[in-house]
Amino acid sequence: MKLMKLTLAAALLSATTLGAQASELRIALQSDADVLDPDQSRTFVGRIVYTALCDKLVDITPDLEIIPQLATEWSFSEDGKQLTMKLRDDVVFHDGTPFDAEAVAANIDRSQNFEESRRKSELSSITGVEVLGSHEIRLDLADADATLMAQLADRAGMMVSPTAATKAGVEFGLNPVCSGPYKFKERVAQDRIVLEKFADYYNADEYHFDTVSYLPIPDTTVRLANLQSGDIDMLERLAATDLAQAEGDAGIQVASAVSLGYQGITFNVGNGDKADNPWGKDNRLRQALSLSLDRDAINQVVFNGAFAAGNQPFPPTSPWYSKDFPVPARDIEHAKALLAETGFPDGIDLEVQVPNTTIPLQLMQVVQSMASEAGIRISLVSKEFATLLSDQTAGDYTASQIGWSGRIDPDGNIHQFMTTDAGINDSKYSNPEVDTLLNTARTSNNQQTRKESYNAARAILNEDAPIVYLYHETWIWALDSAISGFTPYPDGMIRLKGMKKEEG
């Protein structure tokens, strides 16, 4: 009898616990995702959706260590040219297709050879794929590639169902089929992307919501208002200026992590005729601009101190940050002296193009006012982002306020910007020494060698200053206080594992 009572009590208890947990999670995103195909996708918010939808070969920890996800273990050969991976054997895609080494091979082939694929350059080091067993695979590389594991921890490592991909072709993104904890349910453009729990997920017990909805709400005030009114459960990218308001609300909790990216001013030093001006030719002027700025004050004024001041492509908290070049203190006299030295004792004009949105404009107005005290007269040309990007790529600019969302591996923040003829080196900076150092860092699997190469490159780049770095954004999430188990990651993703919401 007692046993029966206990059982009954336990059953009731578990029933109430179950009932008390919300089965739906609504997340507000800053913008709408683009096409939902990991191989074609380009947006940051798209990656947030994939975190629940598409598992990757490997994942990262908040400290950016690579950890297993679909691959359980891996090792590089002595020369770094072969990567052997063992795979989970209990995984199926959302359409029932089993996940195995053949599927991985098909995915790598798709990322490399599918015409629409944006992942080609990320996996360009892979020259061959060898299926060693049903759940073991070897990737052959042209050269050692220190960035490969980080690529496999992002979209290039996301595994889509080969059956569905072959069938849907370019249209895969309309109905994506992966192997993540949640599967695609529906999408209404600019309104919502809804995922539902995938019952056959190997680790389904760790995921506590039946459905997850991603709602694009571009206006930050409206995003926060929705959270405060209880229409959503969490939001990403809370504006730094709204932080105090969110923290003052008892129903809201705030989490943050310094991002992997940066914001700065890129100079045109060799991109067409427009580079032929004092700012493009004389690095001392660019140094003078850098010295005229108080980066901490910028952070305080524009971002309420919530972001991180910076002067390198990696935030000061990153292990890759070179400690030999700390964030410089403001030194107006030194800046003026540099101006005089370059033949501009009475000051000099500088035109900077800037995106026509609130934050960049505020930022540049503060920069403008600080620089003017050193005799640098900045005029701002605000452009709508698509135009700004076109002009920048075409070399039709002197200086441009732009940033980078950041990559897990340090290479992603520097190589493609600072090496000769690299894909997005819009400043067309070229220095053989920097090329050698950055290529060494890219092809070495030895952390020490990489660190030394980056430090040496920093010494040169600090002098040449083709990009004047300003700050690093902090990802700020605001969540309903009933939510537990959320861990902030520097990549800005929302990992749902272990997250719960207690109904109040």
Partner 1 sequence: MLSFILRRVVIAIPTIILISIFVFTLQKLLPGDPVLAMAGEERDPQVLEFLREKYRLNDPIPVQYLTWIGNALTGDLGISLRTNQPVLELIAQKLPVTIQLATMAMVFAMLIGIPAGIFSAIKKGTVVDYIANVVALSGLSIPNFWLGIMLILLVSVKWKLLPASGYVPLSEDPIRSITVMIMPAFVLGTALAATLMRHTRSAMLSVLSSDYVRTARAKGLVERRVILKHAFRNALTPIVTLTALLFGELIAGAVLTEQIFTIPGFGKLVVDAVFNRDYAVVQGIVLVTAVGFIFMNLLADVAYVLLNPRLRKQ
272 binds partner 1 (CB under 8 A): no
440 binds partner 1 (CB under 8 A): no
Please work out the total of residues on this chain that contact partner 1, with binding judged by CB under 8 A: 47
Nearer to partner 1, 291 or 422 (CB): 422
Which positions ≥6 away from 436 have C-beta within 8 Å?
Answer: none
Q: What is the phi-psi region of residue 190: left when phi exceeds 0, alpha when psi lies from -120 to 50, beta otherwise?
A: left
Minimum Å distance from CB 92 to partner 1?
Answer: 26
Which positions ≥6 away from 88 have C-beta within 8 Å?
Answer: 70, 71, 72, 99, 135, 202
Q: At what angle are helices 432-443 and 447-464 packed, to 10 degrees?
A: 160
Taken in order 308, 313, 316, 320, is the CA torsion positive or negative? positive
Minimum Å distance from CB 328 to partner 1?
Answer: 27
The answer to whether 147 touches 158, Cβ cutoff 8 Å, is: no
Contact region for partner 1 (CB under 8 A) — 222-230, 301-309, 472-480, 484-492? Answer: 222-230
Contact region for partner 1 (CB under 8 A) — 17-25, 263-271, 388-396, 489-497? Answer: 388-396
The DSSP bridge partners found for residue 82 are 140
Contact region for partner 1 (CB under 8 A) — 52-60, 156-164, 228-236, 489-497? Answer: 228-236
498 binds partner 1 (CB under 8 A): no
35 binds partner 1 (CB under 8 A): yes
169 binds partner 1 (CB under 8 A): no
Matching residue, tokens 């860092």: 441
From 96, 218, 343, 345, residue interacting with partner 1 (rule: CB under 8 A): 218
Minimum Å distance from CB 167 to partner 1?
Answer: 15
325-384: contacts with partner 1 (CB under 8 A): 383-384
Contact region for partner 1 (CB under 8 A) — 78-86, 225-233, 328-336, 438-446? Answer: 225-233
H/E element, 386: helix 385-394
247 binds partner 1 (CB under 8 A): no
H/E element, 240: none
Matching residue, tokens 């949640």: 182
Nearer to partner 1, 62 or 423 (CB): 423
| Alpha carbon distances (Å) from 12 to 21, 80, 502 | 14, 57, 17
Query: Pairing between strand 376-383 and 348-355?
Result: parallel
From 389, 430, 435, 439, residue interacting with partner 1 (rule: CB under 8 A): 389
Query: Pairing between strand 71-76 and 82-87?
Result: antiparallel
Minimum Å distance from CB 154 to partner 1?
Answer: 12
Contact region for partner 1 (CB under 8 A) — 167-175, 235-243, 345-353, 478-486? Answer: 167-175
175 binds partner 1 (CB under 8 A): no
255 binds partner 1 (CB under 8 A): no
244 binds partner 1 (CB under 8 A): no
From 404, 469, 475, 486, residue interacting with partner 1 (rule: CB under 8 A): 404
167 binds partner 1 (CB under 8 A): no
DSSP annotation of 244 reads H
Q: What stretches of 104-190 adopt beta strand conformation (E)?
A: 126-133, 136-141, 182-188
416-435: contacts with partner 1 (CB under 8 A): 423-424
Q: Contact letters (x/-) for partner 1, 176-215, by CB under 8 A? A: ------------xxxx-----------------------x
DSSP 88-125: -SS-B-TTSPBP-HHHHHHHHHHHHH-TT-S-TTTTTT
Coil, strand, or helix at residue 200? coil
From 43, 163, 342, 455, residue interacting with partner 1 (rule: CB under 8 A): 43
Nearer to partner 1, 121 or 304 (CB): 121
Contact region for partner 1 (CB under 8 A) — 27-35, 78-86, 134-142, 202-210? Answer: 27-35
Taken in order 101, 107, 110, 112, is the CA torsion positive or negative? negative
Which positions ≥6 away from 46 have C-beta within 8 Å?
Answer: 33, 34, 35, 36
Residues that bind partner 1 (CB under 8 A): 32, 34-35, 37, 40, 42-43, 115-118, 120-121, 170-171, 173-174, 188-191, 215-219, 221-222, 225-226, 228-231, 383-387, 389-391, 393, 404-405, 423-424
